[in-house]
Chain A
Amino acid sequence: MSRRHLGIFTAAVLAAASLTACGGSGDDSAAAPKTLTYWASNQGASLEADKTTLQPELDKFEKQTGIKVTVEVVPWSDLLNRLLAAAASGKGPDVVNIGNTWSASLQATGALVEFDDAALQAVGGKDRIVPAALAAAGAPGKPPAAVPLYSMAYSLYYNKKSFADAGITAPPTTWEQLAEYGKKLSTGGKWGLAIEGANPSENAHHAFTFSQQYGGEWFDSAGKPTFDTPQNVSAIKRYIDFMAADKITNPSNAEYAQNQSVSDFANGKAAMLLWQSAGSNLKTQNMPADAYGVAPVPFLASPPAGGKKVNSMVAGINMAVFKHTKNKDGALSFVKFMTSDEEQTILNKTYGSLPAVKTAASDPAFSAPEQKTIQETLVTTAAPLPQVPEESTFETLVGTAMKELFADAASGKPVTEASVKAKLTDAQQKMR
């Protein structure tokens, strides 16, 4: 009696729960779903601008395949959390953008479709893809967990007029030169170099490059953290010293985390900026392309033994497919569409990034000075961040330690080898 009623009640609750649970996935027939959901990373000036850019392309895809793609543009500050939640719950979009440095971390969750030879064939073939970009799409020795979509690299952006006014004729090629020029440029309320000091990811990218130049590594070959080596201490100190010792960076940059450093460069408040594909962002902030020059990121004048000629990470955005998708074929065809020559040209042109496929690179849009510099860096002097599962943890811990060091520098506290080492040791101890 009572059990039967309880049974009916339970069934009703379960039915209601399953109804709400299915609501999000967007498939109305289990046999051949004709819809996909897509989380796009924020590439343009705003979330809305990205939607405007992507929607016509998605409409084109729907026309070709009959599959309707619902897009949501996710800001970078939320993206990793959202991806993790989707990975953990098995509920979420079918196709996503991931920052390529997270590839191995997300791959370790086992929630992403791995692109073995067959899957790569389904999206157009392995040989089309730029090899360096593909190397940053998953853990070594495993099939990639994603397919490269937009390629980027760090460059040195410099204000031509400020340089001319200070009597500087060419961009710096060494950090020593950069510091020297920076001092000349830091006058009259203007500063030499803009830095995004409170953004852990941004800090971690520079930690990687500087460490490579000093001959350091953040993980050993067994994947164990090696944060507080002398090389890494020197590397981090060199970067923080632009504010702490050289004083060519406005102390205010220690609280920058919303791309204010790009605005400072665009508004002429800072003469140099280290950034990946800043062109489109500068354009939206009314800085004409002929007002600035783009040069490769500098090196050390005399690198120590073991120092590598690396001046950028292989930066980029990848496309991944969640295993929980009910429409894997549709998802793969969408990846194929987005990495097709035509779409690669259209989208990368808009975002000022480089195509991740070789075949689209010949378009004249990608031979502007900025794109040429990025291209050259990617081919010759860029290296992928360590593709280990703990990569995202490294970004958080080391990037946050650097944020604290910048805060010290900004408020006049000394930044010494010892204080840098202490922060890095603490960060390393927190790795499990």
Chain B
Amino acid sequence: MATSTTAPDADRREPRAGSPARRPARRPRGPRRSLLPYLLLAPAIVLELAIHVVPMVVGVWMSLLELTQFHIRDWSTAPFIGLENYRATLDLNSAAGKELLHSFWVTLAYSLLSVGFAWLLGISAAVVLQRPFRGRAILRALFLTPYALPVYAAVITWSFLLQRDTGLVNHVLVDQLGLLNERPFWLIGDNSFWSLLVVSVWRNWPFAFLCLMAGLQNVPGELYEAAAIDGAGFWRRLRSVTLPMLRPVNLVLLLVLFLWTFNDFNTPFVLFGGSAPEQADLISIHIYRSSFKTWDFGSGSAMSVALLLFLLVVSAAYLLITNRRRDDHA
């Protein structure tokens, strides 16, 4: 189809495209060749626009509107209120602001602890499974199961296990082992935070395990041999060989895990439903509740934008610090 529209056509339609002197220079390349890269890029650009850029711009725009049930049907008619949504949701003297700050601290603690434990479990399992032994393949498959299960099925099972009266956890702790006299609540009250953390670590650590196992495959055996000749024990080898060699993997792994956990919606939503206990009120659930349960999409968008900015700053700072350290080393 490119041949049907040849150079004269281009001339006619682009009279203002630069000086005549430059035009002959472009002509020999032919329209097909100059168009091809753009055509090849087009799908990616269209998708990028549709999936990331447009929703992001719309989200920022929504955060400047008073977008409630009155305007949700045609949100372009919602009144423009500037930064009012940001003022209302980030004002730490108001109930909404205090609750958002509370959610923020809960989410931060949840993310740091979850990533920490997931990483610890992941690296331990990866190191242990490094050496070949009988049953290694089975263990590997077993460890990866939580990652392969559909989120909903896995988390809803946890919610059954954690029920106070009929759950297996209390049955084992109270009835079988006799460790506790009273049946504790796991899905409401103070314990709900720890329940959420356990489920999150259980879901996340196989990913850490997978990445770190792959990373360990790339550590040359000679390094360990040399270390052994130098008389390094297990811990010394771990500290001086394994961890430094895993650095690039860890950099990405920790950042990705942190971002995922900070934004995690599935785990708390399936575990607690749309209204999580205040002790486990993660920011994602908080935003969902503002947007969809109280029908205030403007505030929800404002919180989302604030959250995005925070995560961008965290990621940038993390990358900056870790890159500088690498430069120092190099």
A-side residues, CB < 8 A to B, are 1-6, 8-9, 13, 77, 81, 84, 87-88, 90, 105-106, 108-111, 198, 200, 250-252, 254-255, 257, 389, 392-393, 396-397, 399-400, 403-404, 406-408, 410-411, 425-427, 429-430, 432
What's the minimum C-beta distance from A373 to chain B, rounded to whole angstroms?
30
What's the minimum C-beta distance from B36 to chain A, rounded to whole angstroms?
10
Contacts of A4 in B (CB 8 A): 5
What's the minimum C-beta distance from B162 to chain A, rounded to whole angstroms?
9
Q: Tell me if B315 is interfacial: C-beta within 8 Å of chain A.
A: no
Quick check: which of B258-266, B269-277, B322-330 contacts chain A, the rest being far away? B269-277
Whether A396 lies near B273 (C-beta < 8 A) is: no
Give Cα A358–Cα B147 distance, bound, in whole angstroms. 56
Whether B275 lies near A200 (C-beta < 8 A) is: yes
Contacts of A399 in B (CB 8 A): 275
Whether B277 lies near A2 (C-beta < 8 A) is: no
Q: Tell me if B46 is interfacial: C-beta within 8 Å of chain A.
A: yes
Contacts of B38 in A (CB 8 A): 2
Give Cα A110–Cα B74 distance, bound, in whole angstroms. 9
What's the minimum C-beta distance from B105 to chain A, rounded to whole angstroms?
17
Of all chain A residues, which has the CB nearest B296?
Answer: A432
Whether A396 lies near B277 (C-beta < 8 A) is: no
B289-309 contacts to A (CB < 8 Å): 289, 292-296, 299
Contacts of B75 in A (CB 8 A): 88
Whether B70 lies near A108 (C-beta < 8 A) is: yes
21 pairs, A vs B, C-beta closer than 8 Å = A1-B10, A1-B13, A2-B35, A4-B5, A5-B1, A5-B35, A81-B292, A84-B69, A84-B72, A88-B72, A105-B69, A252-B164, A254-B188, A255-B163, A257-B273, A389-B69, A389-B70, A404-B277, A407-B188, A427-B95, A430-B99
Q: Tell me if B208 is interfacial: C-beta within 8 Å of chain A.
A: no
Q: Tell me if B287 is interfacial: C-beta within 8 Å of chain A.
A: no
Assuming A77-B273, A432-B296, what are 17 further A-B pairs, CB within 8 angstroms? A1-B35, A2-B35, A13-B46, A88-B75, A105-B69, A109-B73, A251-B164, A252-B164, A254-B185, A393-B295, A400-B275, A404-B278, A410-B185, A411-B189, A426-B99, A430-B294, A432-B88
Contacts of A84 in B (CB 8 A): 69, 72, 292, 295
Whether A255 lies near B164 (C-beta < 8 A) is: yes
Q: Which of B96, B185, B275 contacts A403 (CB 8 A)?
A: B275
Rank and list the top 8 A-B pairs by shortest CB-CB distance, nearest first.
A429-B95, A407-B188, A426-B95, A396-B293, A411-B189, A393-B294, A400-B275, A88-B72
Give Cα A269–Cα B239 distance, bound, in whole angstroms. 58
Q: Tell me if B314 is interfacial: C-beta within 8 Å of chain A.
A: no
Contacts of B35 in A (CB 8 A): 1-2, 5
